[in-house]
Structure 1
Amino acid sequence: MRYELMIPTQIRKAIADNIPVVLPLGVLEYHGEHLCTGVDTLVITETLARLENEVPFIILPAFYYGASSYAVEGPEANGSIHNRPDILYPFASSLFMNLLRIGFRNIHIIVHHQSENFAAGMPTDLSFKLAARQTLFDFIERQSGEGWWGKADAANYYEGHEEGDNPFNWIQAYPLLSDSIQKEYPIDHAGKLETALMMAVCPEGVYMDHFSEDKWYTQTAKDANLEYGEAVLARVKDHLIAKLKPKS
């Protein structure tokens, strides 16, 4: 369900049912001559579109304007748009505070850009993860006052964690391709993996007639095919369903 098309009655029911709210978080970045700039976001949004009938969730309008960096290519005539973390953090903080005040407690941030070492993090996901943590502290303090953790009614805080009652899980961030998927299907930039996945989820963003081997990172794209992309997509769908399905 697209958030921008929801009416208040639907929003209230989603809150009552603790339906996941998903933010596709990405960038606009040069991906060789054969792929469009929105790859890192489109692989998320287009995969989610294929899950709408399998698990209930709300999809927020995608955020395309992360920190692409210019490590691959400069922006001139190549299309990359880079916003620094100091710009991303206040936006993310404001967004998360709004979502918490609305009443959502099951917020998911899905990332693909630079997610090969997600535990360590890269500027885009780190900005949003830090904003999520700090906003949760701010929100809980707004609700319960300073010293909330030290009060007597928080004495079972750690026991609650063991049972899954952890307010710091109200906002979660994770990569589109889990560690296990990446071991089976190695991640790349505009190579075989990304090109094949785009063939499966967004073929209109793939222009193999423009493919060039001039860049080392695109050379494996010549081996991309729809079958490989569909295999990756199947694993990603299973990964996301496990993350988004209601907990028993």
Structure 2
Amino acid sequence: MEENLKRINKFLSEVGYCSRREADKLIDAGRVTINGEVPEMGTKIGPNDIVHVDGELIKNTKEEFVYLAFNKPIGIVCTTDTRVEKDNIIDFIKYPKRIFPIGRLDKPSEGLILLTDDGDIVNKILRASNNHDKEYLVTVDKPISQTFLKHMSEGVPILDTITKKCEVEKLGTYEFRIILTQGLNRQIRRMCEYLNYNVEALKRVRIMNIKLDMPVGEYRELTETEFKELSDLLEDSTQEIMTPTKPSRKDKK
């Protein structure tokens, strides 16, 4: 019946193989098969259909989801395609289950990124319309002026749009804090470049209620408290998704 069918990208997301966006790329590249046939984008599957990715059987069985906070070092690439990028985040972490990053931090940047095998929560966090805060510390190549702070906070034209108003605070001669609710490609770097500044260091220190509190290159599981707060913040999101299960481990001290 129609109600038992779901799009192939949603299926791959729900079973924790990858995000819907990544699934679309796999489908477009012809790396996904349904019952031995390469599907078109948007194809729906039922409970009895057999799905493979790169020849690997994808089973619709699910353990409890994993939610990790990771302090990404400079030089690590936020991709799950281990065949393309040598310094990718998946090979660096070497987590025993298949996980994928929620969003991105570009290669020259460092700091907090979340990883999970819960594909549905990815879509909710990434939607800019949900106004989910992401906080960064940024160092630039010349003294920060009041004009710079004003333009950064009120919005600048990049990528054929005007960036959303945001909170910007000067911390020192060359350093500022910025809180974004958007996720445009290389957004902070492009904003600074528009105002004739170059970013020399960029670190993300917070995503919503999750704060960066581990050494560079290390990760930890979200605590029960963090996960509960995150779930509460996501409740009013505009995209309807499945409620994720709780992490299995207790709060870390």
Both proteins in one fold, TM over 0.5: no
TM-score (norm 1): 0.24
More strand by share: 2
TM-score (norm 2): 0.24
Q: Which has the higher contact order (CA 8 A, sep 6+)?
A: 1
